[in-house]
Structure 1
Amino acid sequence: MLNLPFPQMKHQEKPPEDNLTELIEFVLLDFADVPHLQWLLFGLFLVIYIIIVMSNGIIFLITKLDPSLQTPMYFFLGNFSFLEICYVSVTLPRMLMNLWTQRRTISLVACATQMCCILVLGTTECFLLAVMAYDRYMAICNPLHYPLMMNQKTCIQLAAGSWISGIPVQIGQTVQIFSLPFCGSNLIDHFFCDIPPVLKLACGNTFVNEMMVYIVAVLIVTVPFLLILISYGKIISTILKLHSATSRAKAFSTCSSHLTVVVLFFGSAIITYLRPKASHSARIDKVLSLFYTVVTPMFNPLIYSLRNKEVITALRKLLCK
């Protein structure tokens, strides 16, 4: 069992910049404060990782193979499931390795790479959820124009834009953060290299970096979230005008699955990145991060498949084959 110097986890005075010794590696503390639960946590997160990869993999597979699911909604759902596999694979395998080996060190380059991947994939998820809301808006509010507006070319462009658009911004933000000098404690009280715990270890004035994090978070998290709320405001207004109770129930069922994922993901992300610095707590940050990196990817297939007859039918066909 690795004996970590926990007293250093408390806030310390940063040493004068004249006496800096730049760090070349960090220590991810993850759940080192509960040594008696290491093997239990390893087993739990291993099972969760397998469930996430298999369930999202199945959804991705059936949206590509089943002819009845070749629609824009399931095209975006397939992209979303593949994204969840990528997202969770950036954090959970390293955490499992740390729990197994009890060696929690991570190099500066590996830490920067992990942060950049998480930020890029998180940005993709924000945009993709907004695109999925737009797709539902077009299908319910403009059904006559829907086949024309949401053709295959448009769907591919929207998906590609969601995957690519965040890359330059998040690479720039990662470079900016890791250009800062790091000194003193090298303990990251988190299970992956997230922005708030890494910035705590930086020496010198981090005000500009913190402002950039807020600006990027507002643009990438808040703007798509507001667009989703506007889309669903119009969707709900249209659904309530439908005369058939069956049509209203079907429309609400289709939208409620997506809305549940939106609330889980955006709720935890907004609280993590947009709440005041003074209210940050390592324990709360870890719990919130688990929501948008582990809980959402795990429940995504359940939310979408258990409430969707077309997905269940396609899954049965696949299992029969």
Structure 2
Amino acid sequence: MLVGILKDSHFSLLQEVEPTNSTSVTEFELVGFLDLQNFYTPVIVILLVIYLLILCGNSIIFTVIYAHPRLHIPMYYFVAVLAVLEVFYTTVTMPKILFDLLKSTKSISLNGCLLQIYFFHVLGITEACLITAMAYDRYLAICTTLKYSTTMTTKLCFQLMLGCCTCGLACPLPEIILTSHLPFCGPDRIWRMFCDFPPLISLACTDTSISIIVDFSLHLIVILGPIFLILLSYVKILRVVIRIKSSKGSQKVFSTCASHLVVVLAFFGTISFMYMRLTWMESLRYNRILAVIYAVLSPLFNPIIYSLRNKEIRDVIKQITSSSHLFCCEMK
């Protein structure tokens, strides 16, 4: 029953599969660009601008935190690492997408495809774990205020980061190993702009029930596990907020958590819709669009969220801007 349901969820990917042959396929064609043949130039410009904004925005956040000692606390260590993750996360896919748009043949080897999938999921899972660790940090800061400085030490902060990275590196391995042993004998078209598990698995010329179950289980754990822990943290935070009689105190707590909550909604909203939506919502065209949105939405908006919603980072950026302006005036 479960296998049948999971197979149905991949129905749209199988709709455009061509007749198979006995030849072993070691190279695939990325055909998520077919609908854009007449719009390559504007698409390249838009994606390049988005990529540069992601690089600049996240680099600014990291540099601001690194360069200013007043931001050298666990909360901002997490934000700095998140900014680095966003840069690598986008770099796994975006340069390849831009390069493919510039050339006529948009191919990728099986090993290259698996490598892209692995790092895409490593960085995505690490980010999910890091966002969960940030929720735990907010819980400690608000619910155990007096003990926070002794509990959330720099050592614990880096241990949590190491745990996030370990989880990210380990989780995709079983599926990568399973997929690498699947026989591919045609067709060789991946209906995405970059490689991912579902469209690649759908091209295997054998029973893929185990791979489909592992893929679904991985995304179920990676999405629902962190969401549960984040909800648990915020339920406890909400209990503390309810007990605060001062409206200023409540407002301060909400402003402390606002940036993180927006990041949670942006990241887990897109990842949930991408990997856990119902069968009737499946469409090859929408799959391709959603895949790109999923790859760029969170990295693009996180720097904006933290620079606009976070007072400390905003104040430091203003300070840097004012200093630069004064320096320029003096030079003139």
Instruction: With the length of structure 2 as denominator, give the TM-score of the two structures.
Output: 0.89
Aligned to 1:199: 201
Q: In structure 2, what is the Cα distance between the partners aligned to 1:242 and 1:315?
A: 32
Q: 2:302 matched to which residue of 1?
A: 300
Unaligned residue ranges in structure 1 (runs of 5+): 1-7
Tell me: CA distance 1:13–1:277, structure 2 relative to 1, closer, same or farther (3 Å).
farther
1:267 maps to: 269
Q: Secondary structure at the match of 1:34?
A: helix
Which of 37, 58, 61 is the equivalent residue of 2:60? 58
What CA distance in whole angstroms lies between the structure 2 residues aligned with 1:313 and 1:287? 36
Q: Which residue in 1 is equivalent to 2:141?
A: 139
Q: Which amino acid aligns with 2:54?
A: I
Match in the other structure for 1:83? 85
Say which SS state the counterpart of residue 27 (structure 1) adopts.
strand
Deviations 1:85-124 (A, max 9, x none): 0100001000010112233111111111000000111110
Identity in percent: 37
Match of residue 106 from structure 2: 104
* Residue 302 (structure 1) shift: 0.6
Cross-structure match for 1:11: 16
SS at 2:108 equivalent = strand
Q: Which amino acid aligns with 1:173?
A: E
**Alpha-carbon separation, structure 1, partners of 2:314 and 2:26:** 50
CA distance in 2 between counterparts of 1:130 and 1:20 reads: 46
Contact 1:269 1:288 in 2 (8 A): no
Q: Structure 2: how far apart are the matches of 1:202 and 1:276?
A: 23
Q: Does 92-101 or 215-224 show the bigger shift?
A: 215-224
Using the size of structure 1 for normalisation, the TM-score is 0.92
In structure 2, the residue matched to 1:230 is: 232
Q: Which residue of 1 aligns with 2:293?
A: 291
- CA RMSD for the aligned pairs? 1.8
* CA apart distance, 1:46: 0.3
Alignment-mate amino acid for residue 170 of structure 1 = P
Superposition map of 1:23-172 within 5 A: 23-172=25-174
Deviates more, 1:253-262 or 1:135-144: 253-262
State whether residues 30 and 189 of structure 1, in contact with CA within 8 Å, keep that contact through their aligned partners in structure 2: yes
Deviates more, 1:78-87 or 1:302-311: 302-311
- The alpha carbon displacement at 1:278 in A equals 6.5
Q: Which amino acid aligns with 1:256?
A: A
Point out where structure 2 has 5 or more consecutive residues left out of the alignment: 1-12, 325-332
- Where 1:191 maps in the other structure, the secondary structure is coil
Q: Helix, strand or coil: the match of 2:28?
A: strand
